Chains A and B, each alone.
Chain A
Amino acid sequence: MSAELLDDLEAGELSVQFEGEEPDTVLAWALERFSPRIAISTAFQTDGAVLLHMAYELDPSVRVFSVDTGRLPQETYELVEQMRERYPKLQLDLLSPDAAAVGALVGKHGPNLFYKSVENRLLCCQVRKVLPLQRYLGGLDAWITGLRRDQWATRSDIRKVEIDHDHGAIVKLNPLAEWTEDEVWEYVREHEVPVNPLYEKGFTSIGCAPCTRPTSAGEDLRAGRWWWETGAPKECGIHCAIETGGLEHELHALLGDDHD
């Protein structure tokens, strides 16, 4: 009989204990407790890059993963190369979507299907992002995200330790929950963490190339993602991180049962 990692009661108490603690305290605890069946999720935005840097300092053998949808901007791939040089022992898993599923999707709806309807866009997110994530999490006991409370009005209650009931009740850690955007950038500068050059070109949120664009000063940040859509679910207009589980709930509601 295997002993459970954490239950909701323990996770709840831990989440209270870790309030006010620095991110690397939470990270150190998590790596100690869950290695080697723990990994960091990063989309190579600043939050994920900071997390990667912190974890690498603690333990260079830490596993890091990112979903390579196949449609990422060239700058993101260049950043990946830069990271590989900067962190030579980095154990980076780039998750590819299932080739047959992508083939079927593109064969049926075309390569730029996402511009045609919200359903198509969500289907594309499902095949290229969500399913690879779900498959990978199936092999973990815990995962670490860069989610922060100040990213979005509805993320204000994020806990540093949660049971991830969207993903088989593994443990989910959000060490940066309390940090502000400014603190993330300060850390980036202080530690010279490599960041995506697209930020300098006015991007506020970096996802797939066809679905992300820079915003100009004064423009609503939501204009940076899926700007052509009407009738899309709220909350996904910006920073639509797969880490929240929210996207999966919307997918379920709009597309029905799993498409895998």
Chain B
Amino acid sequence: MSVTLEQVLKRNSVERLKREKSPLAILEELPALIAAGYESVPEEDIVRLKWWGLYHDKPKIGTFMLRVKIAGGLLGSKQLRAIGELSNEYGRGDAELTTRQNVQLHYIELAALPEVFARLEAAGLTSAGGCGDTVRNITGCPVAGLAQDELFDTTPILEEAATLFYGNPDYSDLPRKFKISITACADACAAPEINCVSLIGALRGGEEGFGVLVGGGLSSVPRIARELGIWVPKGEAIDVLAAILDEWRGDLKYRVSRVKARLKFMVDDIGPEGMRGRIETRLGRRFDDFALPPRPRASNHLGVHERYVGVPVHLGLVSGDQLIALSELGPEVRITRQQNLVLVDPVDGVADELTRIGLPLDAGELRGNAIACTGEPHCNFSVTETKSRMDGLVRLLEARFPRGQLDGLRLHLDGCPHACAQHWVGDLGFQGTTVRDEGGRRLQAYDIYLRGSLDRPAAIARPVFRRVPTEELDDAVAGLVGGWIEGRAEGESFRDFCDRTTDDELAVLAGREAHVRRAA
């Protein structure tokens, strides 16, 4: 059954909103919106501002989060300094590193936006398409061009893609958001399994090119991406990305309902084979069959390496002053999807300098691996504490277990089902929820997700313990982690340990009943 534009516009208010006035064009109206004042700005225009990387802070009374897009997480020092200065001058002196290698600022006022955008542009930065139905920040290996074991440097392709898609009106009216990753490191470290499309570098008889994964994504309906099964020569990579985008954005079927709009639902419908067929038809050429070789466990890039140091950033939180100080420590900085930083060609004595500015290199793998979403106090969706609760969990485990024992453990904590911190694929994933105590008071609580991972084969976790009140969370987590440390085989990961342990056994470790699904 084919879908008409009329049906789309009838059912989907965002499609109407986009056609009534292009969200990208809202920038031209900023002076008028500012003159009228925040109070007078219609909520529809606030929605359009997402296309410039802006979300309401919480409460929704006049300040914004600003998401600065950083393709591949690659930044020059001057750019980093510029972001730090923006935070200090227009925000409240803090910033967040995100799982898509962006930087987010908070408390930016409407009236400041023209200056903020001008400063970003002057620094060669943009927030175009930071949020909204756009190509979101394209992620890559944070040590592209630096790692000895990479197959080739993907930076030129990544930059070409960003130049083509960011702020391009044709790719800013997508059915929904679209997430791309591009890597050619040995371990395809950019979480390709949970992106809409991922180009994974490979070699074929000495030729450089890519295999492709399609249809991954998390949020409320998680999917692990599937392999397209084609060989894409390096020179055709951008064509293939555009062809996938064009097939999806041109199909009105994916504009009727935002609940079924993401590329993953198209892949659900037609499979990788169908997608391949549509790409080949559109481009008028056949691609060779190609199966990607197995991918090893992904690196987190922490620690001291020949050309770089990987700096664990606890909770992904940095101050404007720290960003400015970091800009003095080397010519380039990269942001990792674990909400950490990589300093390229750092100055002598960088370890001491990092300690001095409060970002010690030896903060530990647990901190480096842990990720938590924005959440309280900024986000309007979160129902629980997020980064602060993660801080509590990290400190608990550090106090309870010798540090080296915790290496490799990945904690992912989200305050709502949107899964910005990817709780579906952490070793221990947490999603915020609430419970009522006997007196009827609302308590913060968490569902605990286990057996998910981005280690290959990637897997979606299931909620094994539900509605764990925040006061009881520490004991459950310490019990599970302690059980792994005591019971693991040599080198056995937390995920592997959970895979071979029954829910009932895990329940004993956690000291609480496991969640039992009702038969459908």
Contacts and interface: CB of A to CB of B under 8 A. Distances in A.
Interface of A: 1-13, 15-16, 19-20, 134-135, 138, 149-150, 152-157, 159-160, 162-163, 165-169, 178, 180, 230-235, 237, 246, 249-250, 253-254, 258, 260
Chain B interface category by residue count: 35 or more
B441 A260 contact: yes
B11 A8 contact: no
Contact of B467 (A160, A168, A253): A168
B221 interface: yes
Nearest to B219: A12
A16 B440 contact: no
* Top 7 A-B pairs, shortest CB-CB distance: A253-B59, A3-B518, A12-B221, A234-B60, A12-B220, A165-B433, A233-B60
A7 B465 CA distance: 11
Contacts of A254: 59
A169 B467 contact: yes
A30 to B, nearest CB: 14
B471 interface: no
Contacts of B447: 7-8, 169
Interface in B17-68: 17, 39, 41, 43-44, 46-47, 56, 58-61
A180 B433 contact: no
Contacts of A134: 436, 440, 442
B417 A10 contact: no
Nearest to B56: A234
Interface string B437-479: 0001110010100000000000010110011000000000000
B515 A7 contact: yes
A150 B13 contact: yes
A167 B440 CA distance: 11
Contacts of B17: 153
Contacts of B380: 246, 249
Nearest to B513: A1
A154 B463 contact: no
Contact of B59 (A4, A9, A16, A233): A233
Contacts of A150: 13
Dominant SS among interface residues on chain A:
loop
B222 interface: yes
Interface string B409-447: 000000011000000000000011111100011100101
A8 B220 contact: yes
A165 B258 contact: no
Interface of B: 10-14, 17, 39, 41, 43-44, 46-47, 56, 58-61, 220-222, 256-260, 265, 377, 380-381, 383, 416-417, 431-436, 440-442, 445, 447, 460, 462-463, 466-467, 513, 515-520
Given A1-B516, A249-B59, 10 more contacts: A3-B518, A8-B417, A10-B517, A12-B220, A15-B259, A134-B442, A157-B258, A178-B257, A233-B61, A260-B440
A7 B221 contact: no
B466 A149 contact: no
B436 A138 contact: yes
A16 B518 contact: no
Contact of A169 (B12, B377, B433): B433
Contacts of B441: 258, 260
A234 B463 contact: no
B442 A258 contact: yes
A166 B466 CA distance: 14
Given A165-B432, A180-B10, A250-B60, A8 B258 contact: no
Contacts of B61: 231-234
Given A15-B221, A16-B259, A178-B11, A169 B435 contact: yes
A140 to B, nearest CB: 11
Nearest to B59: A253
Contacts of A169: 433-435, 445, 447, 466-467
29 contacts: A4-B515, A7-B463, A7-B517, A9-B222, A10-B520, A12-B221, A12-B417, A13-B221, A16-B259, A16-B265, A19-B257, A20-B256, A138-B440, A153-B13, A153-B43, A153-B44, A156-B12, A156-B14, A159-B259, A165-B383, A166-B383, A167-B434, A168-B436, A168-B467, A169-B447, A169-B466, A246-B380, A249-B381, A249-B383
Contacts of A231: 39, 61
Scoring B432, B460, B466 by chain A CB atoms within 10 A of each residue's CB, the highest score goes to: B466
Contacts of A138: 436, 440
A234 B43 contact: yes
Given A19-B260, A134-B442, A169-B467, A237 B513 contact: no
B257 to A, nearest CB: 5
Contacts of B466: 4, 7, 169
A10 B463 CA distance: 11
Given A12-B220, A16-B221, A168-B467, A253 B434 contact: no
Nearest to A137: B436
A232 B39 CA distance: 8
A249 B516 CA distance: 30
Nearest to B45: A153
Contacts of A159: 220, 259
B423 to A, nearest CB: 10
A152 B43 contact: yes
A40 B37 CA distance: 39
A8 B431 contact: yes
Contact of B435 (A3, A6, A168): A168
A237 B445 CA distance: 31
Contacts of B58: 249-250, 253
Contacts of B467: 168-169
A115 B171 CA distance: 46
B116 to A, nearest CB: 20
Nearest to B462: A9
A168 to B, nearest CB: 5
Nearest to B417: A8
A230 B442 contact: no
B380 to A, nearest CB: 6
B31 to A, nearest CB: 20
Contacts of A7: 447, 462-463, 466, 515, 517
B463 A8 contact: yes
Contacts of B435: 168-169
Given A156-B12, A237-B43, A258-B441, A16 B260 contact: yes
Contacts of B46: 153, 234
Nearest to B58: A253
A157 B260 CA distance: 10
Contact of B417 (A13, A163, A246): A163
A108 to B, nearest CB: 22
Contacts of A249: 58-59, 380-381, 383
Contacts of B463: 7-9
Nearest to B10: A180
B416 A165 contact: yes
B417 A154 contact: no
Nearest to A254: B59
